[in-house]
Structures are given as C-alpha cells and as structure tokens.
Structure 1
Amino acid sequence: MPSNQPKTNQLHFGDNLGILRKLPSESVQLIYIDPPFNTGRTQTRGTTTTTRTDAGNRVGFKGKRYDVVRETVLSYDDEFEDFWSFLEPRLEEAWRLLNETGTLYLHLDYREAHYAKVLLDALFGRECFLNEIIWAYDYGGKSKNKWPSKHDTILVYVKNPAKYFFNSSEVDREPYMAPGLVTPEKVEKGKLPTDVWWHTIVSPTGKEKTGYPTQKPKGILRRVIQASSEPGDLVLDFFAGSGTTGAVAAELGRKFILIDQNPESIGVISKRLNDAGVEFELKS
C-alpha cells in the first residue's frame, strides 16, 4: 500500500470540501461521484476570483482559457451556475487527489451533462477526456408529450492521458443482443461493454435495496471499479449516498474513503457495511 494512503477504510460525516482539502495529494486511484442536483434546497450563488501564480492552487489546470469558457457557459443557465459554483472547488480537489494513473467518473443526468462536459474539457484539459458513458434503463413512468428520459450520463476524465490505468479484461461481460450472429463460444463468454450500458435501476423490492432514494446499482459501480483500479487501490466517493461505491470496492479488494454530510446517508452506509462485515473507521 502506498505510504500516503489510509491504513483503514474510512467513512466521513461532514462537508466534503473541508475533508477533501485534508487528504494527501495524488493518493487516490479512482474517484466516482454522483453529486446532487435540483434537490429542492436553496443554494446561494457565489462568485470566485482567482489570481494565478506559479505557486497558485490551480497548478495543472488550464488558466485563463478555463475562466473564459466558464464565464461563457455559465451565462446561459443561472441554475447550473449555482450548481457549478458548488461543484467546481470539489472537482479541483478531485484533480489534486488523483494519482497519475487515476480516473474521475462524474455521474450526471441529462439536464447538466452538456454544460459539465464543456467545463470539464477546459478545467481538466480536453486531452484528458476518456469517455461519455450512457447508462440506459427502462423503469418508471413514461411521458407521452416527449421522448421519455431513460438514461444518465457518466463523464470519464483521466489525470494523465499518457499514463492512466484501464483494464477491460477484468470487467464483467454482458450478453450479446443478437447471439445468433456470433459463435456459441462467444455467446458463452459474453461481450465487452461499450460506452452504452444497459442496466436496470435498483429494484424497489430487490435485496440490494437500502431505502436510500438515490441509490445506484452495484453492477454499475462494479464495472467502474473493475476497469479503472486494481486490488489494493484507493477509491474515493465524496457524495457517498447509500454507500454503493464502498460496498463494491470492499467486495473487489479495494480500499475506500466515503464522505457525506447527510446523517441518513451515514446511517444507511454504516448499517450496510456492518451487515457485510466490512471494517471501516467512522470520522466526524
């Protein structure tokens, strides 16, 4: 285990930005986050002014070009500006925490994905963009006034496009949609996933259900963690929700740090990990 990684799995209760700033640089292999949006909470808009120097806190980012892109994009959508003002400093910390082989997975819905893609291209560097993953599902009500929205978007960015880790051979395979067109051997083995993932949501009556409203299925996190980390690596989720990232990381032999400021989330995660026999340290 690298010396800058924690010796135990950690679950933090509190504001994620303050906690992230205390974690050591380049200590994390994989970050998956599913940040809240349109939660009904009143957000206070703030503006940020940054003066960049050689010793500034944005070393590695894209400087003036990012500021120009940011101002242009955010001029179109006041609601997204509130969201981005909240998320931006946390993404800066994510970049700092990733090691050179590391990867960020940012899970969004259709309302903000297009804005976030433009801003992340400028913030991380367009050369660091790896994939736009579409998670498609077919569950719940269907609008008759438009094409029903049945997908989420996961934007994937790497810290260093020349050194990032990706292991497709370890990823769970999926059935062929037209098995009659391939050999029986291929049907038995299954096919590697593309950037479109067909996977059901967590069943309201299934054994995986924790009761947490934004819970993501373990199958999605298994695929992310298998592809972009190795056993023993450190995985971080600072919008931990129901704790699926930590539960799957533990099953796959990875270490994890989970952060959330919602007491309900901390209660659900603690019970989930304890029931699974996963050792972790609760910090608050």
Structure 2
Amino acid sequence: MGRTKPAWTTDSENLVVHADNSEVLPRLPDGSFTLIYVDPPFNTGRKQARQSTTSVRALEGEGDRVGFKGVSYSTLRGALRSYDDAFDDYWGFLEPRLREAWRLLADDGTLYVHLDYREVHYAKVMLDAIFGRENFLNEIIWAYDFGGRAKTRWPSKHDTILVYVKDPQKYHFDSAEVDREPYMAPGLVTAEKAALGKLPTDVWWHTIVSPTGKEKTGYPTQKPLGVLRRIIAASSRPGDWVLDFFAGSGTTGAAALELGRRFVCVDANREAVKVMRARFGDAAVVVPGVKKPR
C-alpha cells in the first residue's frame, strides 16, 4: 500500500480541524512546526476506563525509544505503574500524543505542555523519556489570583507549563520579542530600566481571562491571550507554523494571528470548533478530521 496522503502541508492555509487529535496527528508531516503548545484536559486520563495494556520492563538501553540515562519507555512505565496504578491510564491517554508532538516539531522547535499540579509530575517523567532529559528547557509557573480561597490549605493559584526542545543546539528563542514586565522595586534600577521594564523569568504573574472582559469567549477553559502571545513571540518567528491539538477556544490561533504566525488548531469538541469559527472568521479554514486508514 502507498503512503497515506497528509491531511495538511505547510503550503496550506490556517486550519481548524474538528476531530480527535489521535486521528489527525499521524496525518501531519514530520518536522512541520516550530512551536507546539498543548493544554490537555488535566484529569482526562484518570477518568477514562482502564485499558488492557501490557507493560514490559526492558533492560537499560532497550525499548522503542531511549530516554535519559539510557532508560527505556517500558522501564519508566513499569516503575510509575508500581507507584500509582492510575498513572497507566494517564500515560495511555497522553503519551502517544506527546510522541507525535516530538515527531512533528522542526529541529529548531519547542513544545509547551500546560498542566496543573495534579498531573505535571507524571508528564515531566514522560517527557524526559520521549524528548530526553537534556532537552528540558524550563518549568514555567503561571501564577494568578482569582476564584475561591481554601481555608484548610494554601490555595492553589498556579498552573505549570513544561518546556522541551527538539534539539538543544538548534532551538529558536528570541527574548527581544518578549513583552516586558514592571520591576517590583523600580526605585532600585535606573529610570531608563524602569521605563523599559524587565524580561519575564520562569514565574509569570498574569490574570486569568476576565469573566466580563472583551477577550472572553464563553469557553470554560479559555487561557489568556497574554500568556500565549509571550510563548509564541519567544519561540517562533513571523511566518512559522504553530500547532495546538487541544485547541479549546483557540487562544493559540488568535495569538498566532496577531503575531503573524500560521497555525493548525485541532479539537474534538463541537462547541470549541464553534467558538474558533467565530473567533477566526475568514482567517482559517474549518474542516472535519480525517479518519485513520484501516
């Protein structure tokens, strides 16, 4: 049988695909995206029914891909399963999609994985195995201050964004394009520096999307444009392709449009696609997904 025709090429228009990403990602060509941002459902894997899978412990250096210190996928999977049986569900959901992300990144590409405190430690080990520990670039803490306040523990007011690169010698990062922040103690720097602002660190203080603001689309998990603008400005160039395969309300695509990047957004949720259709208008083509060949 011949090779399946790709669902998309880099000569295509901006694209919104209404489909499960597991059907779409294998149809995209290798190395096409300078930047991939994903904001997966934080607890989807733990809510799914357990799959009937067999975990084989491989010897050091064996397995279908070797991660840090020569440890294979199957060794890590087995170790984590013994630590927490629920992990196997999350691995089964997220791992094949992150492996596709590695394949789809260009050599100078960067992956941003947005998670919360409940799953980020699992994803970190998983990404170390897929990308290699040496390709871990940053752990970004997005801190915000809105919503309920717990009385019996420290209130949870941050998300974590894990950043991995395809090649630590080639990845694109341009700090000159990043928005600047006010100094917390402007009196300790010169007036010129205070007026310019400082480059962000790996802790980002940024409000959530205002429930009454113009940016609000009504989609429940919408992320703020300011966070995605910063990511896209730093890790891609004008004209580069950006991929988000848990696209939700389409904030990645909206930020890409503002900054002159091209994008592919994928989501299986009908309401998400409806929001993106309204948000992008004629700037993107909306298509149904392509089923995997039998």
TM-score by length of 1: 0.91
Structure 1 stretch displaced more, 3-12 or 146-155: 3-12
Q: Does 1:84 align with 2:91?
A: yes
Structure 1 partner of 2:285: 281
1:236–1:209: structure 2 CA closer, same or farther, 3 Å change rule? same
Contact 1:105 1:156 in 2 (8 A): yes
1:40–1:17: structure 2 CA closer, same or farther, 3 Å change rule? closer
Contact 2:42 2:118 in 1 (8 A): no
Structure 2 partner of 1:10: 15
Per-residue CA distance 1:43-102 (angstroms, 9 max, x = gap): 1222266899xxxx9567677522211221233233333122101100111000001000
Per-residue CA distance 1:96-139 (angstroms, 9 max, x = gap): 00010000000000011112112211221000000000000111
Structure 1 partner of 2:134: 127
Identity %: 64
Q: Aligned-pair RMSD on alpha carbons?
A: 2.2
Q: How many residues align?
A: 275
Per-residue CA distance 1:237-276 (angstroms, 9 max, x = gap): 00000000000001100000000000000001111112xx
SS at match of 2:72: helix
Q: Does 1:159 align with 2:190?
A: no
Give the residue type in structure 2 aligned to 1:76: Y
Structure 1 stretch displaced more, 141-150 or 116-125: 116-125
Unaligned runs of 5+ in 2: 1-7, 289-294
- The 2-side partners of 1:10 and 1:22 are apart by 14
Q: Among 264, 269, 272, which residue is 2:279 paired with?
A: 272
Structure 2 partner of 1:222: 229
SS at match of 1:147: coil
Q: Does 1:35 align with 2:40?
A: yes
SS at match of 1:105: strand
- The 1-side partners of 2:181 and 2:207 are apart by 13
- The 2-side partners of 1:217 and 1:48 are apart by 40
Give the residue type in structure 2 aligned to 1:225: I
Q: Does 1:19 align with 2:18?
A: no
Structure 1 partner of 2:176: 169
Structure 1 partner of 2:213: 206
Per-residue CA distance 1:150-184 (angstroms, 9 max, x = gap): 00000000001111110011001111111111111
Contact 1:33 1:106 in 2 (8 A): yes
Give the residue type in structure 2 aligned to 1:267: K
TM-score by length of 2: 0.88
How far does residue 38 in structure 1 lie from its aligned partner after superposition?
2.8
Matching of residues 176-215 of structure 1 within 5 Å: 176-215=183-222
1:42–1:152: structure 2 CA closer, same or farther, 3 Å change rule? closer
SS at match of 1:78: coil
- The 2-side partners of 1:185 and 1:192 are apart by 14
Structure 2 partner of 1:114: 121
Give the residue type in structure 1 aligned to 2:287: K
SS at match of 1:146: coil
